């Protein structure tokens, strides 16, 4: 695990603003965080270099891309051994339907978020690309009816 990076209130303001809108201009970001534009630019550069900011991404509407059926797949492996984890993850991430995979504690070993073109396509994915693997003992599928996105990871800065 990596070590936490020391952040001050300006860093927190920058991070919160970027999580709300990663396309904000440096000028506006500087104004939001209460520093000069040049200072803001160097702060953002430091946050990227230290790995606090790992990248910027477009959030897309999967339904508009032809993948309206979303689900969480709880996967149990048997046996759950280190030698099988990496190949399983590599295989899983190759599937275009896979949006995210998490390695878990508890009764399930993985939680995989997927988006598919239809319920039939989801069924095919589960049967042919998960349940068909020798090390997969169990797949539990939960359809997602609706979802909400949370706020920024960085807590609010006192005095805002």
Q: Are strands 69-77 and 136-143 parallel, antiparallel or unpaired?
A: antiparallel
Q: Which position has the token pair 């005095």?
A: 159
DSSP letter for 106, please: S
Q: List the CATH code of the domain at 9-49.
A: 1.10.10.10
Q: List the CATH code of the domain at 69-143.
A: 3.30.70.920
What pLDDT, on a 0 to 100 scale, did the predictor assign at position 2?
A: 73
Instruction: Outline which parts of the chain fall under CATH 1.10.10.10.
Output: 9-49
Spans of the chain, pLDDT less than 50: none
Q: pLDDT (tens digit, 9 = 90+) per residue, 9-47? A: 999 999 999 999 999 999 999 999 999 999 999 999 999
User: What's this model's pTM, rounded to 2 decimal places?
Assistant: 0.82
Instruction: Outline which parts of the chain fall under CATH 3.30.70.920.
Output: 69-143
For residue 70, count other CB atoms closer than 10 A to its CB.
20
């Amino acid at each position: 695990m990596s070590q936490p990076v020391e952040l001050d209130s300006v860093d927190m303001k920058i991070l919160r603003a970027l999580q709300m809108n990663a396309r904000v201009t440096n000028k506006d970001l500087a104004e939001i965080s209460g520093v000069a534009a040049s200072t803001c630019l160097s702060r953002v550069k430091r946050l990227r270099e230290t790995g606090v900011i790992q990248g910027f991404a477009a959030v897309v509407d999967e339904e508009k891309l032809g993948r309206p059926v979303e689900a969480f797949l709880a996967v149990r492996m048997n046996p759950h051994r280190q030698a099988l984890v990496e190949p399983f993850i590599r295989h899983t991430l190759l599937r275009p339907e896979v949006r995210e995979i998490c390695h878990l504690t508890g009764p399930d070993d993985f939680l995989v978020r997927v988006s598919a073109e239809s319920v039939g396509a989801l069924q095919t994915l589960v049967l042919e690309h998960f349940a068909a693997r020798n090390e997969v003992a169990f797949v539990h599928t939960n359809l997602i009816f609706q979802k909400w996105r949370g706020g920024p990871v960085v807590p609010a800065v006192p005095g805002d």
